[in-house]
Protein backbone atom coordinates (compact mmCIF):
# COMPACT_ATOMS: atom_id res chain seq x y z
CA UNK A 1 0.00 0.00 0.00
CA UNK A 2 1.20 3.50 -0.80
CA UNK A 3 0.77 6.49 1.51
CA UNK A 4 0.31 10.00 0.14
CA UNK A 5 0.44 12.96 2.49
CA UNK A 6 -1.55 16.00 1.37
CA UNK A 7 -2.33 19.15 3.35
CA UNK A 8 -5.92 20.36 3.01
CA UNK A 9 -8.44 22.56 4.78
CA UNK A 10 -11.60 21.41 6.54
CA UNK A 11 -14.42 23.70 5.43
CA UNK A 12 -17.15 25.23 7.64
CA UNK A 13 -19.53 22.48 6.55
CA UNK A 14 -16.96 19.91 7.80
CA UNK A 15 -16.11 18.78 4.27
CA UNK A 16 -12.74 18.60 2.60
CA UNK A 17 -11.52 18.19 -0.94
CA UNK A 18 -8.29 16.58 -2.11
CA UNK A 19 -6.72 16.12 -5.53
CA UNK A 20 -4.44 13.11 -5.83
CA UNK A 21 -1.36 12.89 -8.06
CA UNK A 22 -2.00 11.83 -11.67
CA UNK A 23 -0.28 8.45 -11.17
CA UNK A 24 -2.89 7.30 -8.62
CA UNK A 25 -5.10 4.73 -10.33
CA UNK A 26 -8.88 4.90 -10.31
CA UNK A 27 -10.51 2.56 -7.79
CA UNK A 28 -11.03 2.03 -4.07
CA UNK A 29 -8.95 4.01 -1.58
CA UNK A 30 -8.82 4.34 2.18
CA UNK A 31 -8.73 7.83 3.71
CA UNK A 32 -7.28 8.59 7.15
CA UNK A 33 -7.77 12.08 8.57
CA UNK A 34 -5.36 13.30 11.27
CA UNK A 35 -6.67 16.33 13.15
CA UNK A 36 -4.43 18.30 15.53
CA UNK A 37 -5.30 18.18 19.22
CA UNK A 38 -6.74 21.35 20.73
CA UNK A 39 -3.40 22.26 22.34
CA UNK A 40 -1.63 21.98 18.98
CA UNK A 41 -4.21 24.22 17.30
CA UNK A 42 -3.94 26.89 19.98
CA UNK A 43 -0.87 28.32 18.25
CA UNK A 44 1.01 29.30 21.36
CA UNK A 45 3.68 31.81 20.52
CA UNK A 46 7.30 31.80 21.60
CA UNK A 47 6.47 34.77 23.82
CA UNK A 48 3.80 32.71 25.61
CA UNK A 49 6.30 29.92 26.15
CA UNK A 50 8.95 32.28 27.52
CA UNK A 51 6.43 33.71 30.00
CA UNK A 52 5.81 30.22 31.41
CA UNK A 53 9.50 29.54 32.06
CA UNK A 54 9.54 31.60 35.23
CA UNK A 55 6.81 29.36 36.67
CA UNK A 56 9.04 26.28 36.63
CA UNK A 57 11.88 25.56 39.04
CA UNK A 58 15.29 25.99 37.49
CA UNK A 59 17.84 23.24 37.85
CA UNK A 60 21.47 24.24 37.66
CA UNK A 61 23.97 21.43 37.15
CA UNK A 62 27.73 21.64 37.07
CA UNK A 63 29.78 20.59 34.05
CA UNK A 64 30.86 17.51 35.95
CA UNK A 65 27.27 16.48 36.68
CA UNK A 66 26.31 16.92 33.05
CA UNK A 67 29.35 14.93 31.88
CA UNK A 68 28.51 12.15 34.35
CA UNK A 69 24.90 12.02 33.12
CA UNK A 70 26.08 11.89 29.50
CA UNK A 71 28.51 9.08 30.31
CA UNK A 72 25.70 7.09 31.96
CA UNK A 73 23.50 7.60 28.91
CA UNK A 74 26.29 6.54 26.53
CA UNK A 75 26.79 3.35 28.56
CA UNK A 76 23.20 2.34 27.75
CA UNK A 77 23.86 2.63 24.00
CA UNK A 78 26.03 -0.49 23.95
CA UNK A 79 23.45 -2.60 25.78
pLDDT tens figures, 5-53: 888 888 899 899 999 999 999 999 998 888 877 655 556 778 888 888 8
Integer Cα distance of 17 and 12 in angstroms: 12
Tell me the residue length of the chain: 79
Q: What is the pTM of this model?
A: 0.41
- Break the chain into its structural domains and give their ranges: 38-77
CA distance 24 to 60: 55
CA 33 to chain centroid, in Å, comes to 15
Amino acid sequence: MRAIKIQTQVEKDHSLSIKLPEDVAEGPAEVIVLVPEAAERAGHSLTDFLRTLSQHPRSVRSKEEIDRDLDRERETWDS
